[in-house]
Amino acid sequence: MEQENNLDALHEHYSFGADAGQEPLRVDKFLMNRIENATRNKIQQAATAGYIQVNDQAVKSNYRVKAGDVVRVFLAHPPHEDLLVPEEMPLDIVFEDDSLLVVNKDAGIVVHPGHGNYTGTLINGLIYHFDQLPKNSNNRPGLVHRIDKDTSGLLVVAKTDKAMAHLAQQFHDKTSERQYLALVWGDVADEKGTVDGHLGRDPKNRLLMTVFPDGDQGKAAITHYEVVERFGYVTLIKCVLETGRTHQIRAHMKHIGHTLFNDSRYGGNKILKGTTFTKYKQFVDNSFKQLPRQALHAQTLGFVHPETKEKMSFMAPLPDDFNGAIEKWRNYAQHQHLGNS
């Protein structure tokens, strides 16, 4: 009875239905594949406290989820929609007027609350600095688009309802311009190329996006890329987005065999190209330490101003961690070339 009384005071945060093809899988592993930033320890603690239910019955962490099961997670605090608390934080504002602002986001900052990140997000900082930001269709103040936590670079934020609607329409109509710099594993064969493949959640790991080439699942996604500089085992490319899907560049580049450098979620934090020499492994490990995140930077952003109708374009320089990694690879490639000549 005590457990039922506890649940009455809790809030449902997640509910997942196991699909028909679900092989028996421990509930802690099942949830780790679906809840971002969840650790196995936290999930096991929640199960021990009786906060994880399968088909309305509390289960332990070793319960095996089967096809058709409904898994629900309850937590003591409200879901993230109720946790938009202003927090003081420095913002690197590239441009601001009465309608909008453009922010250069550091890597490591989550854009909006959710999935284990309830504080310290860009939105928490924005609502501290700006009153009455308009909310988008997902109830998120000011947000027109987003970039991943460990991606650095430019975001436009709306300050009025008119700006929100106008900018959102540009992103929907694909008239906004977004260019990213990415360091990817492998020597990219063609100087230019396009990845055109529907993106959707990976059925086995819901935290990953995967390409469905036949277009039978997911949403249409198009990424254009061009080689900027070659370093042998890795290549610096620029990517222009025609669509803006979750993890689009990360999933598309993995799909064509060029996973982003140090992208831990997609396997880029392992040596995917190169030699077996100890010195090379040490060099790559040092490069990972130099750039402890996926090598992706939202470098340029362009759109039409909602009020003045002026075409606006912004560029954010590469952060030091990314620049340092490029310099390491450039030096390595030059020494390799000299050694082979």
* 131 — pLDDT class (breaks 50, 70, 90): confident
pTM of the model: 0.80
For residue 102, give both structure tokens.
């453009």
Residues 158 and 297 in one domain: no
Residues 226 and 307 in one domain: yes
pLDDT, one tens digit per residue, over 191-238 is 999 999 999 988 888 789 999 988 889 999 999 999 999 999 999 999
pLDDT on residue 125:
94
Residues 191 and 329 in one domain: yes
Residues 243 and 130 in one domain: no
Where among 57, 76, 95 does a domain terminate?
76
Q: At what angle do helices 278-290 and 320-340 cross, to 10 degrees?
A: 160
Cβ-contact 95, 105 below 8 angstroms? no
Residues 72 and 191 in one domain: no
Residues 188 and 164 in one domain: no
Residues in Cβ contact with 137 at an 8 Å cutoff, skipping those fewer than 6 apart: none
pLDDT on residue 100:
98
Where among 146, 173, 200 does a domain terminate?
173
Residue 302: which CATH number?
3.30.2350.10
* Rounded percentage of the chain residues whose pLDDT exceeds 90: 69
Q: Which residue has the higher pLDDT, 226 or 18?
A: 226
pLDDT on residue 336:
78
pLDDT on residue 78:
57
- Integer CA distances (angstroms), 97 to 62, 90, 140, 170, 198, in order: 54, 18, 20, 19, 37
pLDDT, one tens digit per residue, over 297-306 is 999 999 999 9
Cβ-contact 141, 123 below 8 angstroms? yes
The rounded mean pLDDT for the chain is 90
Q: Which residue has the higher pLDDT, 35 or 200?
A: 200
Residues 215 and 238 in one domain: yes
Residue 46: which CATH number?
3.10.290.10
pLDDT on residue 7:
47
pLDDT on residue 8:
52
Q: Which amino acid is at 291?
A: L
Residues 30 and 137 in one domain: no
Residues 164 and 302 in one domain: no
Residues in Cβ contact with 115 at an 8 Å cutoff, skipping those fewer than 6 apart: 35, 36, 37, 38, 80
243-249 mean pLDDT? 93
Q: Which residue has the higher pLDDT, 336 or 230?
A: 230
Query: Does the structure show a pLDDT above 80 at 338?
Result: no
- Looking at the DSSP bridge assignments, the partners of residue 135 are 141
Catalytic residue among 148, 150, 263, 321: 148
Total domains present in the chain = 3
pLDDT, one tens digit per residue, over 72-116 is 888 766 555 555 788 999 999 999 999 999 999 999 999 987 656
For residue 296, give both structure tokens.
């992706």
Ranked by mean pLDDT, the top range of 35-49, 74-88, 313-327 is: 313-327
Angle made by CA atoms 125, 128, 130, in degrees to the nearest 5: 105
Query: Does the structure show a pLDDT above 50 at 2?
Result: no
For residue 222, give both structure tokens.
């198009």
Residues 187 and 125 in one domain: no
* 42 — pLDDT class (breaks 50, 70, 90): confident
* 341 — pLDDT class (breaks 50, 70, 90): very low
Query: Does the structure show a pLDDT above 90 at 161?
Result: yes
Residues 137 and 115 in one domain: yes
58-76 mean pLDDT? 89
Separation between Cα atoms, residue 249 and residue 252, nearest integer Å: 5
Query: Does the structure show a pLDDT above 90 at 136?
Result: no
CA 146 from chain centre, in angstroms, equals 9
3-state helix, strand, coil in the chain (%, to 5): 25, 30, 45
Residues 102 and 191 in one domain: no
pLDDT on residue 117:
66
Q: Which residue has the higher pLDDT, 244 or 303?
A: 303
Where among 144, 173, 202 does a domain terminate?
173
Residues in Cβ contact with 163 at an 8 Å cutoff, skipping those fewer than 6 apart: 99, 100, 134, 306, 307
Radius of gyration of the chain from its Cα atoms, rounded to whole angstroms? 22
56 is catalytic: no
Q: Which domain does 71 fall in, by range? A: 2-76
